[in-house]
Amino acid sequence: MSDFTPNEMMTIAAARALKNDDVCFVGIGAPSAACNVARLTHAPDITLIYESGTIGTRPDVLPLSIGDGELCETALTTVAVPEMFRYWLMGGRISIGFLGAAQLDRFGNINTTVIGDYKNPKVRLPGGGGAPEIASSCGEVFITLKQAPRAMVERIDFFTSFGHGEGGDHRQRLGITTKGPTLLITDLAIWRPDPETKEFTVRSLHRGVTRDRVEATCGWKVRFADALDETPEPTDLELTTLRELQARTKAAHEGGGRS
């Protein structure tokens, strides 16, 4: 395969983790690209749900917002937002929820709320949106993130959403019955929680990535699996699909500007 960027590898690795019968709660950005690449390649029947209420969308271009008209126009049906959160998310009908993070810890706990103290924040971030309940109601949670020491931290400043807490059976102790974060896909590697401790462990390095580079871009002491794989590089189909999707998206959004 020709050259590809770390971001492309991240998106395509995330796409591969999705199955044809998955029902995904899709966020904007990398998750949206990953879900739609999956739909346009190996998972044509995957159900994509955006929290704006659109169920079973098949957008031709990626939305800029969670509620673009394209999502509604290509959806099987569009429901009200309270129904989305009650019947579809809380009702336990979503198999995969995607989350991004401003800060992530080794147990998949996420902060997108504040940097610094909540009452007197250094940076006020957007906040959780649907994340607190996505993290607890979806069957599993996939996290995508560009590695950086200030993003992958020893201790997050705020628990926007709960991953595995302090690890181990912390979720069960809180009465949460879903699996929580089962996959972390970064621009450098694929991580999965240790079955016992729930600490994210590197299972696969993307092509050309070294252990050192993973360690240098992560704020906690990285654990590597004993048998470390190399992530299969993007296929022609995957890369072409992603790039064409992004090209269509760019053209559409620029075309949609003011006259």
Partner 1 sequence: MAKFLSLADAVRQNLHTGDTVAFEGFTHLIPHAAAHEAIRQGIADLTLLRMTPDIVYDQMIGMGLAKKVIFSYAGNPGVGLLRRMRDAIENGYPRAIETVEHSHSAMAQAYEAGASGLPLAVFRGYKGAGLPAVNPDIRTVTCPFTGEELAAVPAHRPDVTFIHAQKASAKGDVLVEGIVGVQKEAALAAKRVVVTVEEVVPDFKGLHPNLCILPHWTIDAIAVVPGGAHPSYAHGYYVRDNAAYLDWDGISADRDAFAAWMKANVLEVGPEVFASRVEGLK
Contacting partner 1 within 36-75 (CB under 8 A)? 47, 51-56, 63-69, 71-73, 75
> Which 93-122 residues touch partner 1, going by CB under 8 A?
93, 113, 118-119, 121-122
Strand pairing category for 200-205 and 181-186: unpaired
Minimum distance, C-beta of residue 205 to partner 1, in the bound complex (Å)? 30
Of 129, 139, 168, 232, which one interacts with partner 1 (CB under 8 A)?
Answer: 129
Stretch that binds partner 1, among 10-18, 86-94, 214-222, 232-240 (CB under 8 A): 86-94
Stretch that binds partner 1, among 8-16, 89-97, 193-201, 226-234 (CB under 8 A): 89-97
CB neighbours of residue 73 within 10 Å: 13
> Which 216-255 residues touch partner 1, going by CB under 8 A?
253-254
Q: How far apart are CA 170 and CA 135, in angstroms?
A: 14
Of 12, 13, 18, 28, which one interacts with partner 1 (CB under 8 A)?
Answer: 28
Q: How far apart are CA 152 and CA 222, in angstroms?
A: 10
Minimum distance, C-beta of residue 210 to partner 1, in the bound complex (Å)? 31
Question: Do residues 115 and 156 make contact, with C-beta atoms less than 8 angstroms apart?
Answer: no
| Binding footprint of partner 1, residue count (CB under 8 A) | 74
State yes or no: is 51 an active-site residue: yes
Minimum distance, C-beta of residue 13 to partner 1, in the bound complex (Å)? 23
The amino acid at residue 19 is K
Minimum distance, C-beta of residue 235 to partner 1, in the bound complex (Å)? 27
In the chain, alpha helices (H): 6-16, 30-40, 69-73, 81-83, 131-137, 170-173, 211-216, 236-255
127 part of the interface to partner 1, by CB under 8 A: yes
Q: Which of 51, 70, 199, 233 is catalytic?
A: 51
CB neighbours of residue 256 within 10 Å: 12
- Closer residue to partner 1 (CB): 73 or 154: 73
Burial state string for 35-72 with b = 16 or more CB within 10 A and e = fewer than 16: bbbbbbbebeebbbbbbbbbbebbbebbbeebbbebbb
Question: Do residues 40 and 11 make contact, with C-beta atoms less than 8 angstroms apart?
Answer: no
> Which 146-175 residues touch partner 1, going by CB under 8 A?
158-162, 165, 170-171, 174-175
Minimum distance, C-beta of residue 219 to partner 1, in the bound complex (Å)? 19
Considering only CA atoms, which of 91, 109, 223 is closest in space to residue 174?
109
Q: Active-site residues: which are they?
A: 51
